[in-house]
Each structure stands twice: as C-alpha cells, then as structure tokens.
Chains A and B, each alone.
Chain A
Amino acid sequence: MIKGEKFFHPDRLPTIWCPGCGNGIILHAAMETLEELNVAQSDTICISGIGCSSRSATYTKFDEVHTLHGRAIPFATAIKLCRPDKKVIIFTGDGDSSAIGGNHLIHAARRNIDITVIVFNNNIYGMTGGQVSPLTPSLKKGTTARFGNFETPFDMVKLVEGAGATYVARTGTFYYKKMKQYMKKAFTRKGFSLIEVLSQCPIYFGRLNKNPDPYDMMLAQKDILISKQKAEQLSKEEIGNRLIMGELVENNDQLSYLERREQLLKEVRGS
C-alpha cells in the first residue's frame, strides 16, 4: 500500500478528474502527510465546497461533508466548534474560496478559527468549463474572457493576511515536498491556516492559454512562483506578476478562536 492510500475509498476511484490535473497531487500530499502524522481515521474531518477540487473530500474515508458552493468555511467553523478535538481540513478551489466564498474566508481568518484551508488554485473554474475566477491572472484567457482577463486578480495570501490569518503559505504542485512540509505545520497548529497551492488545469486553463501539456504547466510554475528569499533581493518591477511562495505568514502569539472561547467560558462560568 502506498503512503496515504489507506485514507482513500477504493470503490470511489478513479476520481472524476481529467488526466494531468493537479488536484490528485494535492489531495495525495494531504493524505500522505496525515499518515505521516499518525492520524487516526476518526481524528479528522474533511469539508469541501463545490468544484473539481472540492470533490477531494468525497474520496476520503474520513467523516466528510461535501457542502455548497463557497460555503465550506461556515460548515467547518460550526463543526470545529462542536468537535474541537478533531482536525478540520477544507479542500477548496480558487473560485469556491475567493469569489462566492470570499466573505466566509475573510471572516474565518479574522476569527482565527482552528481550521486549515487548502486552496487548489488552478486559476479557473474547471467544473463549469473554464470561466475566469478572481485568481485568474490579468490577460489570461477563460471561456468568459476570450480576449483575456482585464480584471486584476486577488493576491490570496495578502487577502487572508490582512483579514487576520495566523499561518499562510503558498506553493505549487511542482513543489511536492514543500507542500507537505506546510501541510504538516498547518495540520498541527492552532488557529486559522491557509495554504494556496498553484495547480494545473490542462483541460481548460492550459488549452485556452496555449499551454495544454500538464508537464509544461507544472514546469511553468518555476517562472510564476518566486521564493521569499529571492523576492527580497528584487525590486517590485523585477518581481512583476510573479507570486511569492513559501511560508509567508506565521504568527503563533495570537490566541485562536477556540482558545479565546475557552477563556471567555472560564470567566463567565468559573473554571
């Protein structure tokens, strides 16, 4: 059995994902990390929204809830409050988390609620056929932006950092080991953590943007993503449209939502 495999439902495979899609890489990294952390099946709850990447939860053997488009976070917030002893992990896409679910995302970061959000950022709506999302880079094409996206994308890291997230990392499917390293940290810490993983949708984003080969798309991440250390030596102009990767926010001083709630309850009810 390969590492992480024990957490998958064999009867639900193969996944619905297209060949070359990055979703499987990210989900597998998460499952492998959980196995390395010696997590029991009953210790973890997986929550997801709607979209290609959000199918992730449904392939796992954990208690899992495949929720509504954009709404994974409020479901997860409540579930964490009711089951504070469980690890609660959200699998979500760029559209799911930053467009329809954007309001929930910033409020979860503000609350510093003890959940981990893994954003599969493939820059596009895959399930509905290739429309642009708030994370589609400017000038890139989608089926709703045939002449190129003239809007400006969110910087997901800055967005949740500004909202109060206490752990934020960014990486890509090309950087498998780093991805697992960040997941390990996120899964074992208190408070709100988010990992944005740049991923590839060869079928829509790739084809529409003249780079349909999954391997080439992954290699391109080396140009799109730039390490924190490297970025520090470059000017804003030199960085240009590139995204900074690494552990970009880590604040362990702030009490998490559950810790603050615990404190309040002590004050109100006595020990």
Chain B
Amino acid sequence: MSIQKEILQGAQACVKGAMEAELGFFAGYPITPSTEIAEILSTELTKEGKIFIQMEDEIASITAVIGASLAGQKAMTATSGPGFSLMQEGLGYACIVEAPLVLVNVQRGGPSTGLPTKVAQGDIMQSRWGTHGDHPMIVLSPDSVQELYELTIRAFNLAEQYRNPVIILTEETISHMREKVLIDTSKKPHLIKRAKPELRTGETYLPYGKLVDDVPIIGNIGDGYGTSITGLVHMENGFQSANFEVADRLIRRLNRKIENKIQDIFEIEVINPDAETMFISYGVASRTIKSLIYSGHDEIGLIRVKTLFPIDPEQIRKYALKAKKVIVSELNLGQYYYEMQRILPEKKVHLIEKIGGELIAPKEMLRRIEELND
C-alpha cells in the first residue's frame, strides 16, 4: 500500500474524488459557497479533454447534467442555497427517467439568499422532499475533507448502480476548510458503471423493460437503440401513459429499488456505543461531539449518520434505544430530529440545535446538555 498525504480544501477533495470516479461532464452556475468546485473542475476537466460548461442558471445546469448522463457520461453539478431550490425541478425528472447524477450541495444559511457565506444544515428536508411527487433520494453527509473525497466516489457508484440522483449534502465549513487527506495511490478505487443493453437477435429493445434488482438497463442516448425518455409516467418502451396500473407500477418500482437496498446504502459511524448519552448527528455538526469524546468525555456516544437518506431505522434503533438520553444535534431547527422522533417513538428525543451561521462550540455543547430537562 502506498499512502499519499495531502492538505486539501474540501472543494479540492470533492473534485479529486469526482475525477477518480471518472467524471466526464460538469455543468454549473456560480454561487457561494460552492463555486470553488466549478472553478477547479473547469481546469481539471478541460486538461483531460472532458466537458465543463458554465450554464445560464441552475435549472440549465441540472438539466444539462441529466442530458449528459442520459448520453452515457458520469455527470455532476454543484450548488448552494437558492441554486439548490432551482434544481428541484431537474431532480424530479432525473428520478423518474432514472438518470444517474451527482449533485453537491454546499449548504449555506437560508431561507432564500439568507447567509451566503455562513454554515448551515437547513437543506435536509429539501434534499429528501424538495421535488414534487413520491420519489426516492440518496443523500450523503461527509464530516471531513477526507470523507468528502471518499463519499464523492461513493456517490458516483451509488448513482450508477441504482440509476438515481445522489446528493452530497456538505456544508460551507467542510467545503472551505483545509485538512489532511490520505489517498491510497497503489490501487484505483472500485468503480461501478451502469449496465448497457445486450440484445439477442430478434429481441425487442425496451429501455425500461429489462430490470436487475428493479434497476432498468437503459441504452445511452446516442447509441442508437431508439431509446425513448420522458418525464411523463411511461411504459416499458419509454412511451408515455396515463394508465393507473402503469403509473402505480412505475412509481412503486422507483421507490422499491432504493428501499430494498437500504442496508447497502445506509451507513453510520458509532463511537462509544454503550454511552449513557447518545448523540445522533451528521456532517460538520457531529465534529463538536467527536471533539468532546476525543477530549475524554466517555459518557457521551455518537451515532454519526453518513447516509441521511434513505434511513435504515434498525441500525439507529440498535444503539439509540439502549442509551439513557438521546440527543439530536444539527444546524437547523430540528429537521433530522423529526425523522429521529419518527423512528424512535418509544424514546424521548432531545434536540440541541443552532442556526444563524455558527457552529456549536464544545463548551457550549456541554452547557446545553446540562440544561436539557428529561
């Protein structure tokens, strides 16, 4: 094994992960605090003869990314705040046509233009339910520059495997901070690529007809299979239909292809699993808890959620139910807290939150634990 040690900014690590994952196309629009990702990629992709395009807005960015994905490229965009809101239309389209893509949302303070340069975790529910209709979504949350690198590669693999958008929900702080990153240069990371149709002679091609674990094998646009793609409810041949059975079958399958694989997709890190006070946290907010634990607070434990959605309740319940006190800590007014209340109905779940663009300092966290009343 040969480990390369580098000091990288979060945005750089994200780009490094994307390039490792064989990113072929990036479209984006400038917005604080995610712009660095586009800036770095404009150089990196061009140097490799791959495609970078700055679009006229975020709607164009996400739809260009879907177009590139349908044409067979691994494709990505990055945005923040209001830009993420604009991309919701495209996200829903990507879900229903089953276009793999990676969207990096570097969260800033909202609502609206809000706090462009400050940290926040206010987009949790928007990343899960921002686009209309019943749809599946995979949302990853890294807690360090190292993990932003790793989860970017994983995001591409999940997108390709399940033919679904994957959102990397990071924060201003992680994307802008510089940290040590260790990269194993002795081998290439394991990469997953979507399957291509293999037709037997005489076989009719149906873009949504051949399923492996509920995931269709769709020919790339431009390969000439005669692929039909539409954001309308569609039949196996890709042509629209307003038939009840067709719609019911399609929407259920879309959701099932992710739900059935929750155990593969959902990831947590658990520290001090037997602690009396168990935190549930994610992303940059979880670093406060980690720093308390590493400075000797053994009474505190942490369930750090790396996959925010889809949630596997069993993995969280296993550790949360045996703790005396369960506290969700996040940088919003309790978005993931509601989800935890939902999956832990028999438990009182506490919330320690902060908004306004600042992190919770370890000392402040200790005081706020004290202040909680059971």
Chain A residues with a Cβ closer than 8 Å to the other chain, count: 36
Q: Which residues of B contact A140 (CB under 8 A)?
A: none
Q: Which residues of A contact B73 (CB under 8 A)?
A: 82
- Distance A76 CA – B60 CA, assembled complex (angstroms): 11
Within 8 A of A (CB), among B22-52: 24-25, 27, 46-47, 49, 51
Contact A82 B25 (CB under 8 A): yes
Q: Which of B63, B89, B90, B221 contacts A63 (CB 8 A)?
A: B221
- Distance A176 CA – B68 CA, assembled complex (angstroms): 34
Contact A74 B60 (CB under 8 A): yes
Closest to A69 in B: B89
Q: Does B67 contact A (CB under 8 A)?
A: yes
Closest to B73 in A: A82
Contact B71 A78 (CB under 8 A): yes
Min CB distance A17 to B, Å, is 14
Against B, the Cβ 8 Å flags (1 = close, 0 = not) of A50-72 are 00000000100111111110010
- Give chain A's interface secondary structure class: helix
Q: What total count of A-B pairs have CB within 8 Å?
A: 121
Contact B53 A78 (CB under 8 A): yes
Contact A74 B64 (CB under 8 A): yes
Contact A65 B49 (CB under 8 A): no
Q: Which residues of B contact A82 (CB under 8 A)?
A: 24-25, 51, 67-68, 71-73, 222
Contact B27 A63 (CB under 8 A): no
Min CB distance B41 to A, Å, is 14
Q: Which residues of A contact B222 (CB under 8 A)?
A: 45, 63, 79, 82-83, 86
Q: Which residues of B contact A64 (CB under 8 A)?
A: 227-229
Q: Which residues of A contact B55 (CB under 8 A)?
A: 74, 107
Min CB distance A85 to B, Å, is 8
Q: Does B232 contact A (CB under 8 A)?
A: yes
Min CB distance B149 to A, Å, is 25
Q: A58-B239, A79-B221, A83-B221 are in contact. Are A66 and B68 (CB under 8 A)?
A: no
- Distance A51 CA – B276 CA, assembled complex (angstroms): 59
Contact B71 A79 (CB under 8 A): yes
With A41-B224, A66-B240, A78-B63 known, 9 other A-B pairs at CB within 8 A are A47-B67, A58-B230, A65-B221, A74-B59, A78-B53, A78-B65, A79-B70, A83-B71, A269-B49
Residues of B within 8 A of A (CB): 24-25, 27, 46-47, 49, 51, 53, 55-57, 59-61, 63-68, 70-73, 75, 89-90, 93, 219, 221-232, 239-240
